Structure formats: structure tokens, C-alpha cells
Amino acid sequence: MDNKNKTTPVSTLGEFGLIEHLTKNIELKNPQTIKGIGDDAAVLEYRGKQIVVTTDLLVEGIHFNLMYVPMRHLGYKSVMVNLSDVFAMNAYPRQITVSLAISGKFSVESLEELYKGFQMACDKYNVDLIGGDTTSSMTGLLISVTAIGEVEKGKAVYRSGAKVNDLICVSGDLGGAYMGLQLLERENEVFKIDPKMQPQFQGYDYILGRQLKPEARGDVIEALKSLNIQPTAMIDISDGLSSELMHICKASKVGCHVYEEKIPLDFQTKKFAEELHINPLVAALNGGEDYELLFTVPLADHDKVKNDPDITVIGHIVDAAEGVKLISALEGKAIPLQAQGWNPLKK
Amino acid sequence: MDNKNKTTPVSTLGEFGLIEHLTKNIELKNPQTIKGIGDDAAVLEYRGKQIVVTTDLLVEGIHFNLMYVPMRHLGYKSVMVNLSDVFAMNAYPRQITVSLAISGKFSVESLEELYKGFQMACDKYNVDLIGGDTTSSMTGLLISVTAIGEVEKGKAVYRSGAKVNDLICVSGDLGGAYMGLQLLERENEVFKIDPKMQPQFQGYDYILGRQLKPEARGDVIEALKSLNIQPTAMIDISDGLSSELMHICKASKVGCHVYEEKIPLDFQTKKFAEELHINPLVAALNGGEDYELLFTVPLADHDKVKNDPDITVIGHIVDAAEGVKLISALEGKAIPLQAQGWNPLKK
């Protein structure tokens, strides 16, 4: 960390200078990228494949708090959020564009950190950064990422294909990102009162990582491919399990039964939830930002999924008339699920 | 304009409800769009074609002032800005995604107006709105549009192909959008002092339209195709002629001579510039937002372009050592051009 305190105002470079500075080291990796940054548009060529396109907007003060989110992590996560949507189509990401609106408080160095995050994500997932737009904002930072990926014709997985009796599966574990956020918020409050206090993070590295450095589950897409499983429906878990189950059930015109005791929760998620006296299940159902994959597979695929330690069968698809329900562990009661997930536009 | 005063807070709908409400009338028009709004990503299929991708960000207070820009016009223009980049690649736009960050001051009705603008643009240019993201912002409105288009392999036109002796051509006329902005700003200042004053717009409908409702020049791309002209380099004029000439010359490693008296200026542009005691040439060179096309063609194509009333030959490409120069009308002096175009990040 040389020159840690050196800050160069963005105004010294101007728009074109800044973009040139930030993007000068970008190398294209994919044969599908014919022309990247530097013209009116990027040029791509996908021979015989279908293309998926997705976009997400991250706004300072709404989606992230720069008091405790490092710029590099923010850049990485901004890309992950979009790659996760590409994987949720059973597709492989190949390109992203990144647009930024930045206020005067950001230095060239802080934007370099942000771009390092973009590039780390692109390098790890073999994605090309092919363009974007950079402009100023009245307040704070806004990041708009669009991701483009490819999928073989007939292999895209929609939300709408779930059938009665299909198994409902989820990758990884849930609720960790939400609990990580609670931890960061708590320590930030302590810091605001006494800046000399050291934050208490020990024992919670996993949930912190879930919040600050999520990974899009391309490995799960690979695993399904090698298990020769074509999911009938799929979605990524960005707004909490409840909300995503309802999306699949609505689009597929079905209902579901999900079993409380099957929902995968990490030890740290449970431990910190206990510390805060909240039910970790609430974090899993309504917390969001886990970026795991929720998918349905035909019952006949049970043997294929049951031995994958990273995939948990949490329930099954039922008739639409039966509703979207959580079966409680203790009494076996069926509780209707509601999408109480993260919703920035609802009071 | 029934229920003109009816305003519904966005919070009554929430994110999913709002998106569903605003996008429920969207119909897909292009066979290249397999799946539009409603899943984790849109799915596209371009058989045997190359794809172009471009993105632009419009920020309230930086790119537009809602004191005098109607939401519907803003929506239309946000799309045009992107389609213009697609055409500048010699490509045809097929899809857009639109992401919005909105503060609490916007009603459902005002966002409906914005979407009407998006849809009018999509309908006129035969483009599908295939997705986006909608979230809240701390202040004001931010619009991020990504446009996707297609071009036959080998037909994309880059900035980098201009050759010595090529003719430099421009479509339409320049400086009008800038003068329209000056007019709107002037009347807005008057309004702020005395809200009862009627704005003085008569005789200036053309430059107002240039600012408020620009059209991306797909017709010029069609004209070039029917004239059997493949430009050697092309760019759209969004930041002023000077800046765009410098982009082409830099990318093509050439210089240029552009003749002052050849630069096409509309009567209203000249008249209002006179009224404000400014040189209309400055509006053309540094004003921006004209969204005309600047392109170079081989000298041999002179006969093909010279009779098109919408295309003006303004100069020619020279050796890089001769620089990027404007030849003045009076004395024939060669004045080096500088990119003083609109640059939100430079002081």
C-alpha cells in the first residue's frame, strides 16, 4: 500500500482521461469479443449460441455503505450480482459493461480500487469488460453493470418450467449475507460512537465474506452439467428465499412445500442470529444477497443431486392451489410464505 | 389529460409491482428477442450476425433539468442517445435495457410518462425493451440504458478506419441542440424570477426540438446502404464536432482539415446565437447533443454523397503530422481544434 494517502482529484483527468486511465490494462479474453472499449459500441460475435442479457444498478446509501465496504469489494460484488443472474439462466457470462456516476468526493485512487474489483471478478470468471459510461453525480456513487452471456439453444432455464413433484434445490447456505450485514452495521454504530473501538469480527469471517465478497455460483452450473441435470426452473437468490420461491411458483403456475429443517444455514449464521436474538430462518427467507441458486429438478434426478454436498433438496413443487408454503419443523404446520424480501421502493 | 393532478406514490406498488405496472404493455417485435422482461436475464438469438453493445447514463442535475424537460421527452431522448451509438457502428438497434434509480419525489404517473417516452422510441425504431432494474436513489433520477444491435459480419464501422484523402461528412446540421439548451436555460431563469411570464419560444421550434427530442440517424445508415457506401470511419456527434473529429483522427492515426464555411448550421441556430452574441460555430464545434453522424468515405465516393441533401462534406483527412485543424473562412488560416466538448468530470 504505497502512497496510501495520495489522492488525485478526478477533475485533473476529465472523462476521457479517466476512462483511459482506468481501462488501460484491460485485456480481452473471449473469442466472442471482437471489439471492446474504445468505440461507440463494443462488437460481439456468438456463433450459433443464444445470448442472455441482464443488468443491475447499485446505489450508494441504498445498496452499499462506503463506511464499511471497501471499493475493491464493491467492484467485485457489483459484477457478481450480474454474473449470478447469468448463471441463473444456465448460461455462461462472457462480457460486462460498467457505468459509473461519481460525485466529487471520489479520487482517482479510489476508482482504481473499484476497477481492481471489477477486474478481479472478470479475471476469475473469464469475462471481458467491454465498455461503459462514466459521468458525475450530484451525490455519491452509482454503479450500473450489464452482463452478457451465452447458452446453447434449448438449454436456457427460465423461472417458468417447474412442474408438480419436481424437487426444489438450493446451493450453498442461506442467510449468511444478511447476518454479515447486521454485523457490519452493528460495528459501524459502535465506531460512530467511539472511533477508537476495534470492531469485533472474530469468529464471523464466513458471514462477513458472504456479505462483502459473494461469489456467483458458476461452479454449481458446471456441477449440474457434469451430473447431466437440466433444471426445470432456476433463479438466483438475491432477495431472500421466500421471494424467489414465489417468483418460480408464480411464473410456473405451481405451488411448493419447503421444509424448515432442510433450509441450509451455516454455523456462523445461526450463532450470530442467536447473539442478536433473531431467528436465522428469517435471514434465509427474507434476508437476501446470498446469490445462491434456487432450482427445480425432476424427481427422477434425486439420486443425482442427493450426494452433492453443495446442493440441498429443501422441498418439492405442488399444485398451485396448495400455495407457497413452509412446513414448520416442530408441528409440521404449513405456513404461507410471503415475499418480504428486500424491496427498496416499498415503505 | 384526465386525472392530471392524480399522483400515486411509488411506495404503494413496491419494486416488482412498479415494474409490472410500467412494463405490462410491452410487446416484443423482433425475432432476435427470444425472452424479454420477467426472468433473471433476457434471451436473444442473432443468427450469423455480429452484435454491438453500448450503454449511457443520464443523471438528473448533470444531463437534464426536470424544470423544463418533460418526462416523456426525457425517456425518448435516453433511448436516442444509445441508438445513436448503435447506428454509429453501422448497426441496427434491436433491444434495450433500461435501469432507473428514483427518489421519493417521483409518482407512478410521472414514471408512466417516462416509460411512454421509452416505448415511443422503441416503437419508432423497432426496438424491444427487454429488461432493466428499478431501485431508489438518495436524490433525483438516474437512467441507465444499454442498447444492443446487429450488424453483418465485416460491415461494422469503427472510429479507426479513416485514411488520408478520405472525405469527412456530417449528417444534418450542428449546434442546434446546444442553442436549444441555451434558450431553455434562459427562459427557465426568467421563470424563476417571475413564474407568471410566458416563455418566449416562438420562431425557435427547430432548436427546441433538437434539444428536447433528438432523433438517432438510422435514416442516414439506410441512405448510405442504398448509396452503396461503406464509411471508412464513423462516430456519432454527442460531445461536439471538435471532440468527435479528434476521436476519429486519434483512432485512425490521421489528421484532418475541416472548412469553417462548410459546417452545416440551421437558420434558427444562427439567429439565436446572434441574439446571444455568440458564434454559432462554437455551438457546432463544442456544443454537443446533436446526435448527427460524422463519417469518412473514400474520395471516390464523392459523387455518391454530394447530391444527398442531408449529407455535407466538411473537409478531408490529412496526414497525422498536419494535425486536426479548422480552416477559417476569411483568411484560410488553419486553427488547431481542441476537444472542449461537454465533459462532466473536468472542471
Tens of pLDDT, residue by residue over A7-59, are 888 888 877 788 889 999 899 999 999 999 999 999 999 999 999 999 999 99
- Domain assignment of residue B34, yes or no: yes
pLDDT at position A99 over 80: yes
Residues near A311 by beta carbon (within 8 Å), at least 6 away in sequence:
A169, A170, A171, A220, A223, A305
Q: Which residue of B has its CA nearest to A130?
A: B53
Q: Do A345 and B10 touch (CB under 8 A)?
A: yes
pLDDT (tens digit, 9 = 90+) per residue, A262-314?
999 999 999 999 999 999 999 999 999 999 999 999 999 999 999 899 999 99
Q: Which residues of chain B have pLDDT under 50?
A: 1-3, 347
> Are both A167 and A281 inside the same structural domain?
yes
User: Which residues of chain A have a CB within 8 Å of the CB of B235?
Assistant: 40
User: Which residues of chain B have a CB within 8 Å of the CB of A135?
Assistant: 57, 59, 62-63, 344-345
> Are both B250 and B294 inside the same structural domain?
yes
Q: Which residue in A35, A147, A153 is closest to B158 by CB distance?
A: A35
Distance CA B130, CA A45 (A): 20
pLDDT, average across residues A126-147: 94
Q: Do A156 and B35 touch (CB under 8 A)?
A: yes
pLDDT reported for residue B342: 52
Q: Do B97 and A55 touch (CB under 8 A)?
A: yes
pLDDT reported for residue B11: 83
> Are both B131 and B257 inside the same structural domain?
no
Of the residues B110, B132, B152, the one at which a domain ends: B152
Between A and B, how many residue pairs show a Cβ–Cβ distance under 8 A? 234
Burial A137-146 (b: 16+ CB within 10 A, else e): bbbbbbbbbb
- pTM, to two decimals: 0.94
pLDDT reported for residue A95: 97
DSSP, residue by residue, A275-343:
HTT--HHHHHHHT----EEEEEE-GGGHHHHHT-TTEEEEEEEE-GGG-EEEEPTTT--EEE-------
Written as one letter, the residue type at A106 is F
Provide the sign of the torsion angle of the four alpha carbons A22, B64, B112, B150, taken in this order.
Answer: negative
User: Which residues of chain A have a CB within 8 Å of the CB of B46?
Assistant: 46, 51
- Domain assignment of residue A2, yes or no: no
Residues near A85 by beta carbon (within 8 Å), at least 6 away in sequence:
A54, A56, A147, A236, B40, B41
| Residue B347, H or E segment | none
> Are both A109 and A180 inside the same structural domain?
no
This complex has an ipTM of: 0.92
Shortest distance between the Cα of B170 and any Cα of chain A, in A, equals 16
DSSP, residue by residue, B151-172:
EETT----GGG--TTPEEEEES
Q: Do B43 and A159 touch (CB under 8 A)?
A: no
- Domain assignment of residue A346, yes or no: no
User: Which residues of chain A have a CB within 8 Å of the CB of B56?
Assistant: 99, 133
pLDDT reported for residue A214: 97
- Domain assignment of residue B3, yes or no: no
- The CATH number covering residue B29 comes to 3.30.1330.10
pLDDT reported for residue B197: 85
Distance CA B241, CA B340 (A): 10
pLDDT at position A341 over 60: no
pLDDT reported for residue B347: 43
Instruction: Give CA separation, B214 vs B4, B66, B74, in Å.
Output: 26, 17, 10
Distance CA A36, CA B52 (A): 10
Residues near B18 by beta carbon (within 8 Å), at least 6 away in sequence:
A345, B10, B108, B111, B134
Provide the sign of the torsion angle of the four alpha carbons A73, A74, A75, A76, taken in this order.
Answer: positive
- Residue A2: pLDDT band (50, 70, 90) is very low
Going by C-alpha positions, the residue among A114, A45, A38, A48 that lies closest to residue A75 is A114
> Are both A56 and A140 inside the same structural domain?
yes
Of the residues A152, A180, A202, the one at which a domain ends: A152
> Are both B109 and B22 inside the same structural domain?
yes
- Mean residue pLDDT of chain A comes to 93
Quote the cell numbers at residue A164: 408438480
- The CATH number covering residue A280 comes to 3.90.650.10
- Domain assignment of residue A315, yes or no: yes
- Domain assignment of residue A173, yes or no: yes
pLDDT, average across residues A63-67: 94
pLDDT reported for residue B5: 65
The CA-based diameter of chain B, rounded to the nearest angstrom, is: 66
Shortest distance between the Cα of B332 and any Cα of chain A, in A, equals 31
> Are both A262 and A315 inside the same structural domain?
yes
pLDDT reported for residue B7: 87
Written as one letter, the residue type at B15 is E
Q: Which residue in B57, B61, B236 is closest to A40 by CB distance?
A: B236
> Are both A118 and A204 inside the same structural domain?
no
> Are both A129 and A215 inside the same structural domain?
no
Shortest distance between the Cα of A13 and any Cα of chain B, in A, equals 7
Radius of gyration of chain A (CA): 21
Q: Is B253 exposed, middle or buried (0-12, 13-18, 19+ CB in 10 A)?
A: exposed
> Are both B123 and B188 inside the same structural domain?
no
Of the residues B103, B121, B152, the one at which a domain ends: B152
User: Which residues of chain B have a CB within 8 Å of the CB of A99?
Assistant: 55-57, 144
Q: Which residue in A11, A48, A50 is closest to B44 by CB distance?
A: A50
Q: Do B46 and A46 touch (CB under 8 A)?
A: yes
- Domain assignment of residue B211, yes or no: yes
User: Which residues of chain A have a CB within 8 Å of the CB of B293?
Assistant: none
- Domain assignment of residue A6, yes or no: no
Total count of domains within chain B:
2
pLDDT reported for residue B344: 58
> Are both A218 and A308 inside the same structural domain?
yes
Going by C-alpha positions, the residue among B281, B343, B277, B288 that lies closest to residue B314 is B281
Q: Of the spans A162-166, A341-345, B17-21, which averages the highest pLDDT?
A: A162-166
pLDDT (tens digit, 9 = 90+) per residue, A210-249?
999 999 999 999 999 999 999 999 999 999 999 999 999 9
Residues pairing with B257 in the sheet: B316, B325
Q: Which residue of A has its CA nearest to B293?
A: A40
Q: Do A131 and B55 touch (CB under 8 A)?
A: yes
User: Which residues of chain A have a CB within 8 Å of the CB of B148?
Assistant: 53
Going by C-alpha positions, the residue among A97, A230, A265 that lies closest to residue A157 is A230
Q: Is A107 exposed, middle or buried (0-12, 13-18, 19+ CB in 10 A)?
A: middle
Distance of CA A262 to the CA centre of its chain: 22
User: By three-state DSSP, how is residue B340 classified?
Assistant: coil
Distance CA A337, CA A326 (A): 6
Domain that residue B93 falls in: 13-152
pLDDT reported for residue B265: 98
> Are both A133 and A166 inside the same structural domain?
no
- Residue A346: pLDDT band (50, 70, 90) is low
Residues pairing with A318 in the sheet: A255
User: Which residues of chain A have a CB within 8 Å of the CB of B146?
Assistant: 53, 55, 97, 146
